[in-house]
A and B are shown apart, each in its own frame.
Chain A
């Protein structure tokens, strides 16, 4: 049974002004998150990601549909019971949302106090968490004395204080520079691998999904438009939204201005070969072209890998006998997905 299960969930906020008709922030979403996975949810600003993630820990209640967490149906629960559910779900935020009136120690202690953990156990648990996130020296600092990366580490320690099964990360690295982002993503990976905590990562950055998530859902206007294994979505995106996100981080077949520029610089036919999994693709392409006496030049593209599985698109400018080129492309069809720029 999935750890988190959303079925046909819709959330509609009241319209901001009278003459606006209410549009759902989340619109009929069905989504399962399995125990132990890191599940990404990607979408542009306003897609409904934050609303969706807040339905999981009942900070928002759905207008319709059902949300089940760890076998427990949330709709219909009383506020008091929802608070208990929230104790088992940690959350971290883009703006960290630390309490400036409390020290690092105080921030981490707060959820323990809320959960009613006996005071005698606080010391041990807090220093354990400070070690885990690498902030032992900052225990008595106030949040405004910390860097962004350190703040997010405190946020993570606070979210993990009560040993939750689930961690929700809403744009947790969007306010951080690239290097700090890498550190925090590394820490989240450890949270998943060493502590076995299921993570839902909300982001608008494909790079975050690629380096962290196992599966991903692509959101657009409140709906999930694509859902699958991260490798599959990257190597073979289906929806327009997914294609746009993937194009931002990996080289795909050239279009528009890029294609025009390539054309003006290179004679011959511009052909893209996309392949996923297995290193045989490339050498097969080069061998076949050489065998048929077709001259080729690599003009665009790149190879990527996600957790050891490679995929990519290379674009070649081909010159030579037209019929040889056609025959070579026909032979290569089983090896790669071929698109010729027209």
Chain B
């Protein structure tokens, strides 16, 4: 317990690091995932910008990269991280890894939620003369917004989970804290302090997501 009190400043710093890693990764990965998810949805046969070839290629790419376990992916994309963010270690490299790791999953979740929009609703927009880009902005995304928010909430929580292995390439955050100061030094109190903070973070995210979704779905 004394050690925990001593480590308190470091614990808070780690919590903040987790929020920072996940936050930045979600802004970038979320946006990229939204674009790829839209591309998957729109090029699907029968949809607004249908294109069998593009759809098939995107599908294969997503199916190839999505199932790679994050701990392996994080190490594997190190050379790419050096190229893109200038370093293969530390928090910047971790953010890069989180973006790559969440990007494909987000695109699938976006695609699936867009597919819940009834085709007739899109057809009604076409029937009044709206073009594809207007339909995407003003009909498709607003109609799917509730499920999209829930999908993103799910992903944020998954990324919090993924960020726990950041220590592998020299990143920080609560996971790294728990391993470095709890697990390695045989101090379960410290480990559990980090676990509790992660639980709080996850709960908080879920509550925010649920209430936002409820607000846009009006129920």
Q: Do A and B bind each other?
A: yes
Tell me the residues in window 32-71 of chain B with beta carbons closer than 8 Å to chain A beta carbons.
none
| B120 and A83 contact, CB distance less than 8 A | no
Q: A114 is contacted by which of B130, B142, B143, B145 (Cβ under 8 Å)?
A: B130
Query: Would you give the shortest CB distance from A113 to chain B, in whole angstroms?
Result: 8
| A97 and B120 contact, CB distance less than 8 A | yes
Of the listed residues B121, B128, B138, the one surrounded by the most CB atoms of chain A closer than 10 A to its CB is B128
| A97 and B129 contact, CB distance less than 8 A | no
Segment of A98-106, A126-134, A258-266, A300-308 engaged in the interface with chain B: A98-106
Given contacts A114-B134, A142-B218, contact A97 B128 (CB under 8 A): no
| A98 and B124 contact, CB distance less than 8 A | yes
Q: A101 is contacted by which of B118, B127, B130, B142 (Cβ under 8 Å)?
A: B142
In the assembled complex, A57 has its CB within 8 A of some CB on chain B: yes
- A46-65 vs B, CB cutoff 8 Å, 1 = contact: the mask equals 00000000000101000000
- A199-229 vs B, CB cutoff 8 Å, 1 = contact: the mask equals 0000000000000000000000000000000
Of the listed residues B130, B134, B143, the one surrounded by the most CB atoms of chain A closer than 10 A to its CB is B130
> How many contacts A-B (CB < 8 Å)?
68
In the assembled complex, B126 has its CB within 8 A of some CB on chain A: yes
In the assembled complex, A44 has its CB within 8 A of some CB on chain B: no
In the assembled complex, B202 has its CB within 8 A of some CB on chain A: no
In the assembly, what is the distance between CA of A100 and CA of B140, in Å? 11
B218 to chain A: closest residue by CB:
A142
Query: Would you give the shortest CB distance from B9 to chain A, in whole angstroms?
Result: 46
| B128 and A87 contact, CB distance less than 8 A | yes
B216 to chain A: closest residue by CB:
A101
Q: A100 is contacted by which of B127, B134, B143 (Cβ under 8 Å)?
A: B143
Query: Would you give the shortest CB distance from B202 to chain A, in whole angstroms?
Result: 29
The residues of A that contact B124 with a CB separation of less than 8 Å are: 91, 93, 97-99, 158
Q: Is the interface of B mostly helix, strand, loop or mixed?
A: helix
In the assembled complex, B4 has its CB within 8 A of some CB on chain A: no
| A83 and B125 contact, CB distance less than 8 A | no
| A95 and B129 contact, CB distance less than 8 A | no
In the assembled complex, B131 has its CB within 8 A of some CB on chain A: yes
Residues of B within 8 A of A (CB-CB), count = 20
Tell me the residues in window 98-135 of chain B with beta carbons closer than 8 Å to chain A beta carbons.
118, 120-121, 123-131, 134
In the assembly, what is the distance between CA of A72 and CA of B152, in Å? 47
Q: A97 is contacted by which of B118, B134, B145, B216 (Cβ under 8 Å)?
A: B118
In the assembly, what is the distance between CA of A89 and CA of B129, in Å? 9
Tell me the residues in window 54-91 of chain A with beta carbons closer than 8 Å to chain B beta carbons.
57, 59, 79-80, 83-87, 89-91
| B121 and A99 contact, CB distance less than 8 A | yes
The residues of B that contact A95 with a CB separation of less than 8 Å are: 118, 120
The residues of B that contact A97 with a CB separation of less than 8 Å are: 118, 120-121, 123-124
| B120 and A158 contact, CB distance less than 8 A | no
Query: Would you give the shortest CB distance from A100 to chain B, in whole angstroms?
Result: 6
In the assembly, what is the distance between CA of A98 and CA of B122, in Å? 10
In the assembled complex, B139 has its CB within 8 A of some CB on chain A: yes
In the assembled complex, A296 has its CB within 8 A of some CB on chain B: no
In the assembly, what is the distance between CA of A100 and CA of B216, in Å? 10
Given contacts A99-B143, A101-B143, contact A111 B128 (CB under 8 A): yes
The residues of A that contact B218 with a CB separation of less than 8 Å are: 142
Q: A83 is contacted by which of B118, B129, B138, B142 (Cβ under 8 Å)?
A: B129
The residues of B that contact A80 with a CB separation of less than 8 Å are: 131
| A93 and B129 contact, CB distance less than 8 A | no
| A110 and B145 contact, CB distance less than 8 A | no
Query: Would you give the shortest CB distance from A160 to chain B, in whole angstroms?
Result: 11
Interchain residue pairs with CB less than 8 A apart (20): A57-B127, A79-B131, A80-B131, A83-B131, A86-B126, A86-B129, A89-B127, A91-B127, A93-B124, A95-B120, A97-B118, A97-B121, A97-B123, A101-B139, A111-B129, A114-B128, A114-B134, A115-B128, A158-B128, A159-B128
Chain B residues within CB distance 8 Å of chain A: 118, 120-121, 123-131, 134, 138-139, 142-143, 145, 216, 218
Chain A residues within CB distance 8 Å of chain B: 57, 59, 79-80, 83-87, 89-91, 93, 95, 97-102, 110-111, 114-115, 142, 158-159, 161-162
